[in-house]
């Protein structure tokens, strides 16, 4: 029998508790890593014990490795743009898909209601916004989360039948995910905008931009997304708050295909102009990609990996691989950030949108180290502090993505695969980079910043997983 | 009416986040009601216009930067714009330091370290089992310093460790010595071929330091926690530690140290000992009738165990007890007949009782060894362990903070029935910086009529406190210093016994 690993030099120690023990060992030249220990599970000893049991479970360990492997093996390709009615099977007439976990009209926040009114008018289900509000309030419209239909949408996340959606195919697993086209800046439906200008732009997306991109993508055979993300990370994007590099790379690669697909030169010019003027155009592509990457892990029994994080402006919801389609929700938090001139925290709507799917796969707030420019949102955020945000996310993730590295962290891979156990254990909430909507419908974006995923979601999920594994 | 100032930088680009941060700084300047630095895109111009920050005739385009400020006066607005330009020209970055971010979980710490093989857990008891369980799942051996861990958790942790081929030392394990490295409360002892498995930390310290002072060395000293040899735990760690040391080529002899185990447990341990080809020294303090296999010998005291492990060689510096005792005796009244032991180490307190028991003496202790009187009596020796739970609840252990023991020591010196005051000084890592100095400090200067002070110092000259220096301090204070705790007890007894 081989000697116990303890007796095989060199001794290397993890110290959990009294710092003096670590100091004495270091003085003897023993390598020590000191844990910055705080009582796990916010001091709930029972939850801490469940946590330890889930850590000790080989079933959970194996399921998590499988789940992380599915994330890392994904091969997402942007393949097409189609009207939602054509590709989202469950999207029926008089149904609106929205961001976040399920919610009824009566609990919806201002921007979400505003966007819904606009979407109703867009679809011609009501003649004007007032009538649309009445229709929505009377129960004449079905509301369902995008996540129930393989889809995601930024901020309010509106998807209705006529809207064009981008399709990202995960070629490793054969699944597809959908996200609408980015509307650009200013007054837009994703921030609750619903006036004539907003609807006019949406109609142009439907009539012109969508078909143009569809033609280009089909001719090109699809756009592989992982390499673009990898380059974007090295160019200062984190794919949530900052997409300027990826948007540029996107138009650079698509321009020849657009030229081949669009016959009329002025139309082509308008399409290029629209994409080129929108630094955040790529966000929606990254989101569809996130959904396509995360979905294959859904329903993997025993896995504590988070497969979705999203917000509807009222509730924050997460899904966990082991519990499949079940939502764990808690009230959303208020983002902290910087505001456009003339606006302040008082104007901010609580956190909203499906965009946290990018953090779910290791980008956005998790890749903050790649994006010194975005560090400004992190309080007094220096670039050096941004590295610490990413380092903190390593503490709550299962692994690193070797395909997506960050120069600022000596090309370490982005922290990937949020583990419910680690979040509850450390009390470190996933950091999400986000835009901030005005709390009133129709005004639009007023700032940007970061927000924490509420720990309560993860604590509920942990309890459910403990029950599933029979350690409750 | 707000006064608005605009300035345009042509062909200038800076990331919008950096611009928003500058905007914030400028907007906070005195007299400024609002300020913004924005690239002059169509949408940004719209935002500035709505905020009342766009001056009439501003022609900036998408490749230009607009610096805009609104203030109570033209001067303030212009000053704000000037300050913004200054900030643009002298970037403030680089000041903040990343700092050293420490890992927040055992998993993260282990990953950072790479190749970790031991976790030391000293968190509050209710969380200790959880932390230990996580460490085991990561493939780490665990030393649980924490107490207040349930028997149920202790057993399940040790079973889990068994399945994974790992060791759980503890709970309530204060001492280990791994490959010459002292862990927690332990001494700097040369490496050698003697392995130790100990349910008592102080026992491990006493034996390992006696071995060191006798010219030997220790391969590994593995702590098991005080309850390991109970019926409920079944010696799971002791058995695993024997297994590990048996397989360790660097270990030639093995010493077992514990209180007397439950009969069934002793049997299981002895069965495992019998399967080994290595010689064992068994020191189950206070055990009377133990069936030992042929490769094991029984040591009644820690000192005897160290001596046996060294092949019978007595500890260095042993005293000639009869002559030292004779010299120490003074003309006392006949009432001075008893030893007052004031201990910091529970196992040392127990060892002293065995010395008294073997001599047929009457003794009482708060940490009794079988044979002790049930009640404290002035007409008997008393040996108090000030490290026992009733003295350490809510205060530091006397090995760390000797205040409580100091007080007991002063009181014992005033006891008219005391012939000798017996005490221990435990040094090494984790212990007080200068326990002998503390003892010397509280002893009243050269009183004629008082009991003789007898002490031992557990430690080595390599320890941070230096044993030789500690011994010197005690001697200078008039304390007789023995080579071991057992010898100190024997000397105290020789002084106290009727002549």
Task: Tell how strand A76-83 and strand A32-34 pair up.
Answer: unpaired
Q: Does residue B142 lie in a domain region? A: no
Whether B87 contacts chain A with CB within 8 A:
no
The answer to whether A63-71+295-468 and A77-290 have equal CATH topology is no
What pLDDT shows up at residue A5?
86
Specify whether B291 is located in the same domain as B331: no
Instruction: Classify residue B113: in a domain, yes or no.
Output: no
Q: List all residues of chain A from 283 to 342 with a beta carbon under 8 Å from chain B.
A: 338-342
Closest residue in A to B109 (Cα) is: A33
Which residues on chain B are in Cβ contact (under 8 Å) with A241?
17
Q: Is the Cβ–Cβ distance between A317 and A92 less than 8 Å?
A: no
Using alpha carbons, list the distances in angstroms from residue A371 to A231, A244, A374, A395.
Answer: 12, 11, 5, 19
Q: In this complex, which of B95, B107, B113 lies closest to A31 when CB atoms are compared?
A: B113
User: Number of Cβ pairs closer than 8 Å across A and B?
Assistant: 245
| CB within 8 Å: A8 and B117 | yes
Same domain? For B295 and B329 the reply is no
| A280 close contact with B: CB closer than 8 A | no
Across A2-161, where does the E strand assignment appear? 13-16, 32-34, 76-83, 95-98, 142-145
Is residue B463 domain-shared with residue B325, that is, in the same domain? yes
Domain boundary among B284, B309, B334: B309
Statement to judge: residues B279 and B376 lie in one domain: no
Provide the angle, in degrees to the nearest 10, between the axes of the packed helices A45-56 and A455-468.
60
Return the residue of A nearest to B27 by Cα: A341
In a domain, B162, yes or no: no
Do residues B68 and B196 both lie within one domain?
A: no
My answer on whether B339 and B457 are in the same domain is: yes
Report the candidate in B217, B228, B232 with the shortest Cα–Cα distance to residue B256.
Answer: B228
Whole-number pLDDT of residue B63: 77
* Residue B96: predicted pLDDT: 37
Q: How many CB atoms lie within 10 A of CB B227?
A: 20
Q: Provide the domain count of chain B.
A: 3
- Predicted pLDDT of residue B448: 64
Domain ends where: B279, B309, B339?
A: B309
Query: Which ipTM score applies to this complex?
Result: 0.82
Domain span holding position B73: 3-89
**Does B137 contact chain A (CB < 8 Å)?**
yes
- The whole-number pLDDT of residue A64 equals 98
What's the gap in Å between the CA of A8 and the closest CA on chain B?
Answer: 8
**Which DSSP string corresponds to A251-309?**
HHHHHHHHHHH--SHHHHHHHHHHHHT-TTHHHHHHHHHHHHHHGGGTT-TT--BEEEE
* Domain at A77-290, CATH class: alpha beta
Asked if omega into A10 is within 30° of 0 (cis), the reply is yes
Task: Quote the minimal CA–CA distance from A313 to chain B in Å.
Answer: 24
Domain ranges for chain A, please list them. 1-37, 63-71+295-468, 77-290
Q: Report yes or no: A392 at the B interface, CB cutoff 8 Å.
A: yes
**pLDDT in the model for residue A224:** 94
pLDDT in the model for residue A377: 65
Together in a domain, B266 and B181: yes
**Is residue B191 packed enough to be buried (19+ CB in 10 Å), middle (13-18) or exposed (0-12)?**
middle
For residue B385, the cross-strand partners are B343
Which residues in chain B have their CB less than 8 angstroms from residue A35's CB? 102-106, 108-109
End-to-end CA distance of chain A: 36
Phi, psi angles (nearest 5°) of residue B423: -145, 165
CATH code where residue B32 lies? 3.30.1360
| B360 and B276, same domain (yes or no) | no
The CATH number for B222's domain is 3.40.50.261
- The pLDDT, as a whole number, for residue B131 is 95
Check CB contact under 8 Å for A16 and B27: no
Flag whether B278 is in a domain.
yes
Q: Which residues of chain B are modeled with pLDDT < 70?
A: 1, 91-100, 330-333, 445-448, 499
Find residues 161-180 of chain B whose CB sits inside 8 Å of chain A.
Answer: 165-167, 178-179
A-facing residues of B in 93-122 (CB < 8 A) are: 93-99, 101-110, 112-122
- Asked if B24 has any chain A CB less than 8 Å from its own CB, the reply is yes
Regarding whether B338 and B254 lie in a shared domain, the answer is no
Regarding whether B455 and B338 lie in a shared domain, the answer is yes
For residue B159, being part of any structural domain is answered with: no
Residues B327 and B285 in one domain: no
Can you tell me the distance from the alpha carbon of A228 to that of A331, in angstroms, rounded to the nearest whole number? Answer: 35
DSSP classification of residue B331 = -
DSSP character for A205? I
CATH number of A63-71+295-468: 3.90.1700.10
Cis peptide before B171 (omega within 30 of 0): yes
Nearest to B96 among A1, A6, A382 (CB): A382
Query: Does B341 share its domain with B372?
Result: yes
Q: Which residue of A has its CA nearest to B98?
A: A384
Tokens 């200038």 correspond to what residue?
A: B12
Contacts of A376 in chain B (CB under 8 A): 17-18, 20-21
Q: Each residue of A77-97: b (16+ CB within 10 Å) or e? A: bbbbbbbbeebbeebeeebbb
A28·B105 Cβ contact <8 A:
no
On chain A, the residues whose CB falls within 8 A of the CB of B108 are 35, 394-395
- Looking at chain A from residue 122 to 181, which residues have their Cβ under 8 Å from any Cβ of chain B? none
Q: Mean pLDDT in runs of 10 for chain A (472 residues)? A: 75 94 93 93 91 93 97 97 97 97 96 95 96 96 98 97 98 98 88 89 97 98 94 94 96 97 96 95 98 98 98 98 97 90 90 97 95 71 79 92 87 94 94 90 83 96 95 77
Cα nearest neighbour of B165 on chain A: A4
**What pLDDT was estimated at residue A3?**
54
How is residue B338 annotated by DSSP? E
The answer to the question of residue B140 being in a domain is no
Domain stops at, among B288, B309, B330: B309
B453 located within any domain: yes
Rounded to a whole number of angstroms, the distance from the CA of B129 to the nearest CA of chain A is 8
């Amino acid at each position: 029998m081989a000697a116990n690993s303890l007796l095989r030099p060199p001794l290397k120690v993890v110290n959990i508790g009294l710092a003096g023990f670590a100091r004495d060992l270091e003085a003897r030249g023993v390598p020590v890593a000191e844990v910055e220990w705080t009582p796990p599970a916010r001091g709930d000893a029972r939850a801490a014990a469940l946590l330890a049991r889930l850590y000790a479970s080989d079933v959970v360990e194996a399921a998590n490795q499988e789940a992380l492997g599915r994330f890392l093996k994904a091969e997402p390709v942007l393949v097409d743009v189609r009207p939602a009615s054509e590709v989202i099977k469950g999207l029926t007439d008089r149904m609106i898909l929205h961001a976040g976990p399920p919610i009824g009209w009566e609990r919806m926040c201002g921007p979400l209601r505003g966007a819904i009114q606009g979407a109703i008018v867009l679809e011609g289900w009501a003649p004007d916004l007032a009538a649309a509000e009445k229709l929505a309030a009377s129960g004449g419209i079905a509301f369902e989360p995008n996540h129930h239909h393989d889809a995601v949408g930024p901020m309010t996340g509106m998807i209705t039948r006529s809207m064009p959606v981008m399709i990202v195919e995960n070629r490793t697993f054969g699944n597809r995910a959908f996200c609408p086209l980015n509307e650009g800046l200013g007054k837009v439906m994703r921030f609750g905008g619903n006036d004539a200008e907003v609807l006019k732009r949406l109609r142009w997306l439907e009539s012109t931009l969508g078909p143009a991109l569809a033609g280009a993508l089909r001719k090109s055979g699809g756009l592989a997304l992982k390499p673009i993300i990898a380059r974007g990370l090295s160019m200062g994007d984190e794919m949530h708050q900052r997409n300027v590099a990826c948007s540029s790379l996107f138009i650079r690669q698509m321009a020849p295909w657009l030229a081949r697909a669009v016959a009329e030169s002025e139309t082509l010019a308008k399409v290029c102009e629209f994409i080129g003027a929108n630094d955040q155009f790529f966000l929606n592509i990254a989101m569809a990609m996130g959904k396509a990457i995360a979905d294959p892990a859904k329903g993997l029994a025993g896995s504590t990996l988070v497969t979705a994080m999203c917000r509807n402006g009222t509730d924050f919801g997460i899904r966990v691989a082991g519990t499949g389609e079940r939502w764990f929700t808690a009230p959303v938090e208020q983002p902290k950030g910087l505001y456009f001139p003339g606006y302040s925290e008082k104007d901010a709507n609580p956190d909203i949108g499906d965009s946290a799917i990018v953090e779910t796969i290791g980008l956005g707030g998790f890749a903050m180290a790649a994006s010194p420019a975005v560090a400004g949102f992190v309080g007094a955020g220096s670039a050096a502090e941004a590295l610490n945000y990413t380092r903190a996310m390593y503490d709550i993730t299962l692994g690193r993505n070797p395909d997506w590295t960050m120069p600022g962290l000596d090309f370490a891979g982005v922290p990937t695969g949020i583990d419910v156990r680690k979040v509850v254990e450390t009390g470190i909430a996933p950091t999400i980079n986000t835009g901030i909507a005005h709390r009133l419908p129709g005004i639009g974006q007023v700032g940007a910043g970061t927000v924490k995923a509420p720990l309560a979601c993860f604590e509920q999920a942990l309890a459910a997983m403990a029950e599933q594994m029979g350690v409750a | 009416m707000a006064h608005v100032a605009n300035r345009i930088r042509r062909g200038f680009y800076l990331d919008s986040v950096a611009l928003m941060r500058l905007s914030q700084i400028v907007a906070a300047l005195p007299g400024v009601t609002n300020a913004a630095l924005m690239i002059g895109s169509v949408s940004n111009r719209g935002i500035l216009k709505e905020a009342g920050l766009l001056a009439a005739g501003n022609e900036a385009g998408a490749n230009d930067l607009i610096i805009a400020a609104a203030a109570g006066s033209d001067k303030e607005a212009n000053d704000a714009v000037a300050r913004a330009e200054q900030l643009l020209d002298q970037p403030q970055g680089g000041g903040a330091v990343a700092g050293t971010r420490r890992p927040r979980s055992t998993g993260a710490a282990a990953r950072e370290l790479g190749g970790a093989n031991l976790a030391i857990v000293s968190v509050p008891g209710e969380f200790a089992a959880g932390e230990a369980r996580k460490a085991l799942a990561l493939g780490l051996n665990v030393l649980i310093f924490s107490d207040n861990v349930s028997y149920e958790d202790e057993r399940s942790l040790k079973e889990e460790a068994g399945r994974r081929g790992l060791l759980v030392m503890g709970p309530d394990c204060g001492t280990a010595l791994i490959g010459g490295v002292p862990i927690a409360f332990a001494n700097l002892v040369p490496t050698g071929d003697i392995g130790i498995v100990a349910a008592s930390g102080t026992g491990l310290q006493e034996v390992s330091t006696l071995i060191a002072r006798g010219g030997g060395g220790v391969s590994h000293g593995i702590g098991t926690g005080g309850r390991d040899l109970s019926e409920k735990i079944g010696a799971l760690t002791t058995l695993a530690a024997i297994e590990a040391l048996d397989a360790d080529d660097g270990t030639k002899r093995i010493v077992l140290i514990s209180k007397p185990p439950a009969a069934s447990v002793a049997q299981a341990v002895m069965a495992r000992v019998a399967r080994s080809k290595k010689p064992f020294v068994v020191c189950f303090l206070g055990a009377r009738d133990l069936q030992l296999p042929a490769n094991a010998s029984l040591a009644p005291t820690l000192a005897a165990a160290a001596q046996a492990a060294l092949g019978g060689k007595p500890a260095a510096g042993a005293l000639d007890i009869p002559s030292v005792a004779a010299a120490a005796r003074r003309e006392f009244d006949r009432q001075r007949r008893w030893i007052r032991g004031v201990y910091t180490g529970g196992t040392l307190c127990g060892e002293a009782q065995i010395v008294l028991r073997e001599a047929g003496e009457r003794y009482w202790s708060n940490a009794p060894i079988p044979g002790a009187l049930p009640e404290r009596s002035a007409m008997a020796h008393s040996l108090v362990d000030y490290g026992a739970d009733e003295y350490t609840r809510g205060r530091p252990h006397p090995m760390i903070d000797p205040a409580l023991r100091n007080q007991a020591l002063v009181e014992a010196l005033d006891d008219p029935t005391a012939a000798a005051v017996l005490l221990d000084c435990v040094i090494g890592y984790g212990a007080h910086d200068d326990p002998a100095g503390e003892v010397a400090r509280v002893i009243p200067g050269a009183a004629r009529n008082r009991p003789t002070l007898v002490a031992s110092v557990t430690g080595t000259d390599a320890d941070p406190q230096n044993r030789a220096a500690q011994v010197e301090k005690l001697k200078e204070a008039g304390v007789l210093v023995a080579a071991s705790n057992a010898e100190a007890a024997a000397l105290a007894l020789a002084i106290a016994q009727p002549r």
